[in-house]
Amino acid sequence: MKLIYKAENLRAAREAFTLFKLVWSRKYPKVVENLEKDLSSLLSFMKAPPQVWDKLYTTNLLERAIKEIRRRTKTIESFPTPEALEKLVYLVICQLNESWGRRKLKGFTVWQMQRERKEKILTQKS
């Protein structure tokens, strides 16, 4: 899998997937079939500039959010209603969203500026 995600471009990633498919399709046919079915979605991060790919294809933010939710819910231990738990999870997510919204990641500023320029050009043509 690493060869696929670390490929230089989309074509190289698809070639790496072909190799992956040859190696693993006998042992895990369903897994390979599902990956192949959704390959275009799984590789959609490659539409962004290469310098931000590692931020897009990892699950680090999701894992960090789950860890923070667990940490907060463990201290309370029991909730009077399911809605109370839902509210706490909502508030944790809001707090994480706010703090992560202020972060600046290398490469994203340039990418955002390019996207905004394209949108502005498209709007002017309409």
What is the pLDDT, as a whole number, of residue 105?
Answer: 67
What is the pLDDT, as a whole number, of residue 87?
Answer: 94
What is the pLDDT, as a whole number, of residue 7?
Answer: 92
What is the pLDDT, as a whole number, of residue 8?
Answer: 92
H helix or E strand, kind and range, residue 19: helix 10-24
- The answer to whether 61 touches 100, Cβ cutoff 8 Å, is yes
What is the pLDDT, as a whole number, of residue 100?
Answer: 79
Cα separations (Å) of 69 from 29, 31, 66?
35, 30, 5
What is the pLDDT, as a whole number, of residue 62?
Answer: 80
3-class secondary structure, 28: coil
Q: Is this structure's pTM higher than 0.75?
A: no
Enumerate residues 6+ apart whose C-beta is below 8 A from 42. 35
Parts of the chain with a pLDDT under 50: none
